[in-house]
Amino acid sequence: MPFDLLLLYTYRLMAAIVAIMMIWVLFRERDWRSQFFAMLVFVPFALRAAGVK
């Protein structure tokens, strides 16, 4: 596997971790603002993890 492809997949894995963390924050935080911001962060990282964007 070329090195840059390995980096790309590593990046997607890290984006997936961030997206999952945001779901965790959504269910852990009790303040609506923290929950809302977690949702905002979730969207682009989910797309990057899926390799769509």
Partner 1 sequence: MTMKIFDSESYRPRAWVLLAAGLAVAICSGAIFLDMHKPEPLVAGPGVTQQKMLSDYVPELANTPADTPIYILEGEEPGGTLMLIGGTHPQELSGVLAAVLTMENVTPQRGRIIIFPQANRSGFTHTDPLEGFPHTFSVQARDGSERWFRVGMRLSNPIHQWPDPDIHLHPQSGERMVGWESRNLNRNYPGVDDGRYTARINAAITQVARQENVDLLLDMHEAYPEYPIINMMVAHERAFEISTLAMIGLQMRGIPMDLMASPPLLRGLSHREFGDHTQALAILSETANPAMGRFRGRTDEELVVGGRDANYVRAAKLRRLFVPFDENGHPLNERTGRQLATVEELVIAYNEANPDKQIDVTGIPTYEDVTAQGISPFLLPTP
Interface ranges with partner 1 (CB under 8 A): 2, 4, 7-8, 11, 23, 26-27, 29-32, 35-36, 38-40, 42-43, 46-47, 50-53
23-35 burial string, b = 16+ CB within 10 Å, else e?
eebeeeeeeeeee
Alpha helices in the chain (DSSP H): 3-28, 32-49
Smallest distance, partner 1 to C-beta of residue 28, A: 9
Smallest distance, partner 1 to C-beta of residue 17, A: 16
Smallest distance, partner 1 to C-beta of residue 19, A: 9
